[in-house]
Amino acid sequence: MTTLKKVGFIGTGIMGAAMAGHLMDAGFDVSVYNRTKSKAQALIERGAKWCDTVGECAKGQDVVITIVGYPKDVEQVYLGAGGIIDSAKAGAYLVDMTTSSPILAEKIFASAQAKSLHAVDAPVTGGDVGARNATLTILVGGAEDDFNTLQPIFTAMGKNIVYEGSAGAGQKTKACNQIAIAGTLAGVCEAFAYAKASGLDVEKVYSAIATGAAGSFQMTNVARKGLDGNFNPGFMLKHFGKDLAIGTETATAYGASLPILAMVLHEIRKLEAAGNGDLGTQALLKYYGVK
């Protein structure tokens, strides 16, 4: 049986810092890299080893995990000169937990395979709360044997860990998740926009519908925060826009028509242009004039 001990963790932002901390709690020897070192400081103070470059963080590790911003960042850290694939030791496991392009995930898988590396795409859902509580849902694409070997890594960070299929399947499933959220969140915002426009008390409407057939996580956990005037990000609007853009672009490649997704992405882009990109996804209420 393969023993995994040394982990390089690249990307210690809102999600990554908590996830790397859980790996340390589980007894893994964790090295970290982040473009902004201060975001890794708490982990360093707990005993994580700081690395000055992506390549240094990948070198000699049993597992290299990434959770960075955008597909272009994923491509750079994996396929760029001196990046992960150039630097990782033969036999290492590469785990991209960024929400990224399934087409890019397939490309990374093939490049890793050519160098005797094991690459999986493993995007997560559950937001900052799931990351802090180690209750993330982890959606995995790649070789099933690699998925099985990586179970101790995944179980340190999440609860619902699902093997979705071959390379790219984790990213495709995450796109399905974000597509479903987009329509649900927009519907919730429209409901409260209608309530406000028609002269109803929005709070009374919320109390009446939140626990019935119209209820959802997006209503009670996301929109609720916005209705309370709290737009701090559990998940930034600009990152949601990135995810929806991946969905629209790959839907075109796969021949799927997703008009609701395109509509919500348009709304998010308008909010971003108005300077709201760093707010939480509950800021979609602002587009509809509810807040």
Point out the residues that are catalytic: 174
CA 269, distance to chain mean position in Å, is 19
Reported as type and span, the H/E element at residue 48 is none
Q: DSSP state, 219?
A: I
Q: Tokens 């590790």 sit at which residue?
A: 61
DSSP percent split of the chain into helix, strand, coil, nearest 5: 55, 15, 30
* CA–CA distance, 155 with 111 (Å, rounded to integer): 27
Q: How many Cβ atoms are within 10 Å of 148's Cβ, its own excluded?
A: 10
Residue 280, SS3 per DSSP: strand
* CA–CA distance, 253 with 240 (Å, rounded to integer): 20
Residue 275, SS3 per DSSP: coil
* CA–CA distance, 9 with 154 (Å, rounded to integer): 13
Backbone angles phi, psi at 89, to 5 degrees: -75, 150
Q: What angle do CA 89, 82, 242 make, to 5 degrees?
A: 105
Whether 168 and 154 have beta carbons less than 8 Å apart is answered as no
Whether 142 and 121 have beta carbons less than 8 Å apart is answered as yes
* Sign of the alpha-carbon dihedral angle for 16, 22, 23, 29: positive
